[in-house]
Amino acid sequence: MIKLKIQAVGMGVGVELPPEVLTQLQTSEGETIFLEDMSDGSYRLTKHDEKSAEIIMLIDGQMHEEDS
């Protein structure tokens, strides 16, 4: 587990991601990452790519179909 401190950034707040997190996400300053709301109430940081987004949408659609 990596501890992140919430700090003031401009008119809002943010967190500083340590280098090992950026390496794991394969991202760098200026790129966009996403905070995903998981079904168990937790959150996950992820780097967006179209293939993963399509797979997640398909899985999410199937899960909702089974619920009805």
Per-residue pLDDT reduced to its tens digit, 1-57: 899 999 999 999 999 999 999 999 989 888 888 888 888 999 988 887 677 767 777
Question: Closest by alpha carbon to 22, among 31, 12, 13, 14?
Answer: 31
Please check the confidence at residue 68 and state whether its pLDDT lies above 70. no
Q: What angle do CA 41, 42, 46 make, to 5 degrees?
A: 130
